[in-house]
């Protein structure tokens, strides 16, 4: 069964064949616009026949066979829908930043679903992330700002702990007299008293912290290590391309496939062949 517009009745054999081909292919198969409507008509005809047999005076064993046929048909149709739904979602994802893809392979219901998903996704992306390449820079800047803020909090906590330790040490020195040791002679003032310069440990700590913050602002402090970003690109395959080798092995890609490959390789394929589109 394909999208040629055949108006014949659908049977369980047709449903199983569509399901087999759909599960085997990565791309969406072409189906008639009214595929689901005709499939439902087939299942409804089975239900009507079952009710008619049940009203007979002597119901035959055919009712059980019809019931089994109906259950298998419903199960096959449900699997077809779920398999194609996954592909429709991937198709919408691949085209969120581009033009509408060709939808001649979709049924009437799938076209409505695809267009609604694409419209909603674009609106949400616009209101949430904005548009343009600056979005990635904003995310990177947010990460850097968060790291700097956490370092500032850690430094403040360290200074508070050091100050507390200094105050405890000074209180201990005031209570317990220091052992007497011989010290070199100190210069005397005009009044004959010794002059002993006092240096506050707290002031030293604050000066050291000030120097660290100044070095960080001027870019002379220790550089923050950034994790290298892997330069990969996500591509949508537009036309079938021959197998090719890459860092992860050999790629076998078909139309409508999504793949993550090195960006340089993606740019070459897009520029030289035109059979792929870089979407991210």
CATH number of the domain encompassing residue 111: 1.20.58.1030
pTM above threshold 0.85: no
Quick one: pLDDT band at residue 188, thresholds 50, 70, 90? very low
- With tokens 């009745």, the residue in question is 9
Q: How far apart are CA 274 and CA 265, in angstroms?
A: 13
pLDDT at position 4 = 43
| ∠ Cα 255 261 267 (to 5°) | 80
Q: 110, 129, 148 — which closes off a domain?
A: 129
Separation between Cα atoms, residue 122 and residue 120, nearest integer Å: 5
User: Which of 107-116, 207-216, 252-261 is the least confident region?
Assistant: 207-216
pLDDT in tens, 260-276: 888 888 888 888 888 88
Cβ–Cβ < 8 Å for 251, 244: yes
User: Residue 139: inside a domain, yes or no?
Assistant: no
* Cα–Cα separations (whole angstroms), residue 69 to 44, 73, 76, 197, 275: 12, 6, 11, 102, 44
**What is the residue range of 271's domain?**
232-278
Contact 32, 3 (CB under 8 A): yes
Number of domains in the chain: 2
Does residue 4 lie in a domain region? Answer: no
Tell me whether residue 65 is in a domain: yes
- For the stretch 130-178, pLDDT in tens is 655 555 666 666 677 777 677 767 777 777 787 777 777 766 655 555 5
* Domain boundary residue, one of 129, 151, 178: 129
The domain that holds 241 is classified in CATH as 3.40.5
Query: At which of 90, 113, 129 does a domain end?
Result: 129
């Amino acid at each position: 069964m394909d999208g040629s517009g055949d108006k014949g009745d659908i049977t369980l054999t047709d449903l199983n064949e569509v399901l087999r081909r759909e599960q085997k292919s990565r791309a969406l198969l072409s189906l008639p616009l009214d595929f689901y409507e005709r499939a439902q008509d087939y299942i409804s005809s089975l239900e009507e026949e079952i009710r008619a047999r049940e009203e007979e005076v002597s119901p035959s064993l055919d009712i059980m066979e019809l019931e089994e046929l109906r259950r298998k048909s419903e199960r096959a149709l449900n699997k077809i829908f779920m398999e194609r739904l996954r592909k429709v979602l991937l198709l919408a994802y691949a085209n969120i930043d581009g033009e509408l893809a060709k939808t001649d392979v979709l049924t009437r219901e799938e076209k409505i679903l695809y267009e609604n998903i694409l419209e909603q996704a674009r609106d949400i992306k616009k209101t949430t992330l904005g548009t343009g390449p600056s979005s990635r820079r904003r995310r990177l800047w947010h990460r850097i700002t968060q790291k700097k803020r956490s370092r500032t909090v850690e430094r403040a906590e360290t200074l508070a702990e050091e100050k507390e330790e200094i105050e405890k040490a000074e209180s201990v020195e005031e209570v317990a007299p220091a052992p007497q040791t011989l010290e070199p002679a100190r210069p005397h003032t005009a009044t004959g008293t010794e002059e002993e310069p006092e240096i506050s440990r707290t002031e030293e700590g604050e000066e050291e912290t000030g120097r660290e913050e100044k070095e960080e602002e001027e870019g002379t402090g220790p550089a923050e290590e950034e994790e290298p970003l892997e330069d990969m690109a996500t591509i949508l395959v537009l036309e079938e391309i021959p197998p090719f080798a890459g860092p992860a092995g050999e790629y076998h890609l078909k139309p409508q496939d999504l793949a993550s490959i090195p960006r340089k390789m993606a740019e070459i394929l897009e520029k030289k062949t035109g059979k792929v589109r870089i979407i991210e």
